[in-house]
Structure 1
Amino acid sequence: MGALLWSLLLLLQEAKGFSGDDEDPEEVVAALQESISLSLEIPSDEEVKDIIWFFQKNLVTVVPRKEGKSTVMLTMDPRYRGRVGISESSYSLSISNLTWEDSGLYQAKVSLNTSQLFITKSYDLRVYRRLSKPHITVSLKISEEGACNISLMCSIERAGMDVTYTWLSSQDSTNVSHEDSVISTSWRPGDRALSYTCRASNPVSNSSSRLISVGSFCADLGSPEKPSMSCLLAKGLILLFLLVILAVVLCVFQTRKNRELSRVRKLKRNRIQLRKKGSPGPSPV
């Protein structure tokens, strides 16, 4: 009876260990198309019989050999052939060239020769893409009061999941942050030009945009109904300059025309005088 109860207790412990319900999975993050290593911590005084790694099904079975011989992997999921490796010393599982499909729950079951119990370890692997440089979209609108209202939207191409956006601005020597993909502000001529930087982050990377100066977008804009005095003065000077040039051109043209007419009249008078001098007198009777 005692032997039967002991056997039942061992079965319950094995079932608990294999299910992974005895502890929460360790969260692990990795970058797309890169590598990850899932490590094991096995007591040095324990002799390992075999290790089975699970992912949705039996991923790989590892049988340690005697000293001087390499570890043997008996079975392997064909989807991971060429991408999975086992450490000779720690029996850690390494996966290279990660894909989206590699995300999920991994479990390792380590059977020991020194006892009928085994060690289990669980990992929750999440794969993310490294972020590219943020793209900034600018929207402007001039109010009736002459204020320049500006909205900056930060976005990442193929961002994926779990991306956070933070706007950083230096104002009055204090860093001000705004956690959202869009930030709105206003600017008037004479105001101190504010500058913003968008920083995007996910669990494996972060990337920042170039510095965006609000005043650079609004400085050349104004209300068409209320143009500034400097603008009116500049336009008046340009118009006056054009009128002066036109008057000079007309004066030069008229002077040349008068000279040409005077020359033509003089030539006509000379021709008439020559004709009078060369005409014959009356014939004698």
Structure 2
Amino acid sequence: MEAFPWLFLLLLLEAKAYSGDGVDPKEVVGVLQESVSLPLETLSGEEVESIIWYSKNKIGIVMPGKERQPATILVMDPHYQGRVSFSEPSYSLYINNLTWEDSGLYQAQVNLRTPSFSPPQRYNLRVYRRLLQPQVTVNVNVSEEGVCDMFLTCSVERAGMDVTYSWLSSEDSSAAVQQGPVLNTSWRLGENALSYTCRASNPISNSSSRSVSVGPFCADTGYPEMSPVTVCFLAKGLLLLLLVVILVTSLWVFQVQKKCEKSRMRKIKTNRMNL
């Protein structure tokens, strides 16, 4: 029986509420796992009977206390239990530890003790994640004329929605050279090699990638790329060849010295016989 007065009061207050379909919602952005405030405006000089906060379901009801008595607050949606508070004196809605499910439309209905009508206040809450550093992948294609055609692709892990991408060059870092996640540029050997940086942005943060220079990706594209194993075999082969050359040279020098020694001994013997 104790729940009956509460139910009756809520039905009575909802009967006074206006759907507010013609009211444009106020845009509010929040950060995932952080806090956000939905500011409530009340009429000055008017005595508030109750405030009802709605989202997908009814969040809760606030009934201000009389004569400096504390307000009566009832949180009704389990999804918001322990995460919401209502700040006096306006009883704006504060939501802590935001989740993706908190995104959406909210409405506050202020019911006055007088016959005056207070239109509902509506909000559109959008929750975003702070962006991680963008990563850039490079694809290279070299034409027969020696022109290096490059595609730079920018991406952000777990980016979420409403992410925009722009590209800045080392030639002019104050203005974007292109919008969008993919940058197409070309470069020819001998030209000034530019560097590019990708910047990703959403309504609550922005982040930039490391600077990528186009020169190193195109300078050696005319030669086949060798794997570390191939390089290792080539190094061993060159070392073995060097050892063989040293060995052959040493044998040749030894043979030459030996012949010279024999020739010298013959001359000595010949001179002795002549004496």
Corresponding residue to 1:255 among 232, 253, 256: 253
Residue correspondences, number: 237
Secondary structure of the residue aligned to 1:255 is helix
Distance 1:108 1:244, change over 3 A: closer
| Structure 2 residue runs without a partner (length 5+) | 1-13, 225-237, 266-275
Task: Return the offset for 1:246.
Answer: 7.5
Distance 1:24 1:16, change over 3 A: farther
Distance 1:195 1:247, change over 3 A: same
Task: Return the offset for 1:250.
Answer: 3.6
Task: Return the offset for 1:251.
Answer: 3.9
What is the TM-score when the length of structure 2 is the normalising length? 0.76
Give the distance between the partners of 2:64 and 2:129, measured in 1 at CA. Answer: 35
Task: Return the offset for 1:203.
Answer: 1.4
Which residue in the other structure is 2:222 paired with?
A: 222
Contact 1:50 1:62 in 2 (8 A): yes
Contact 1:70 1:88 in 2 (8 A): no
What is the TM-score when the length of structure 1 is the normalising length? 0.74
Task: Return the offset for 1:16.
Answer: 9.9
Task: Return the offset for 1:77.
Answer: 1.0
Give the distance between the partners of 2:114 and 2:24, measured in 1 at CA. Answer: 26
Which residue in the other structure is 2:188 paired with?
A: 188
Aligned 1:7-156 pairs, distance under 5 A: 18-156=18-156
Give the distance between the partners of 2:195 and 2:100, measured in 1 at CA. Answer: 37
Distance 1:172 1:33, change over 3 A: closer
Which residue in the other structure is 2:202 paired with?
A: 202
Segment drifting more, 162-171 vs 130-139: 162-171
Superposed CA offset, 1:243-285 (max 9, x none):
9998776443212135457879999xxxxxxxxxxxxxxxxxx
Give the distance between the partners of 2:63 and 2:172, measured in 1 at CA. Answer: 65
Segment drifting more, 107-116 vs 166-175: 166-175
Give the distance between the partners of 1:160 and 1:264, measured in 2 at CA. Answer: 89
Distance 1:168 1:60, change over 3 A: same
Task: Return the offset for 1:143.
Answer: 1.1
Secondary structure of the residue aligned to 2:89 is coil
Give the distance between the partners of 2:135 and 2:163, measured in 1 at CA. Answer: 14
Contact 1:106 1:125 in 2 (8 A): yes
Contact 1:29 1:128 in 2 (8 A): yes
Give the distance between the partners of 1:173 and 1:91, measured in 2 at CA. Answer: 46
Taking only aligned residues, the RMSD between alpha carbons, in angstroms, comes to 3.1
Distance 1:109 1:172, change over 3 A: closer
Task: Return the offset for 1:116.
Answer: 4.8
Tell me the amino acid that sits aligned with residue 104 of structure 2: G
Tell me the amino acid that sits aligned with residue 253 of structure 1: L
Give the distance between the partners of 1:172 and 1:258, measured in 2 at CA. Answer: 69
Distance 1:257 1:163, change over 3 A: same
Which residue in the other structure is 2:228 paired with?
A: none
Give the distance between the partners of 1:191 and 1:249, measured in 2 at CA. Answer: 48
Give the distance between the partners of 1:137 and 1:162, measured in 2 at CA. Answer: 21
**Which of these two proteins has the greater Rg computed from alpha carbons?**
1
Contact 1:54 1:108 in 2 (8 A): yes
Give the distance between the partners of 1:190 and 1:96, measured in 2 at CA. Answer: 57
Give the distance between the partners of 2:53 and 2:112, measured in 1 at CA. Answer: 15
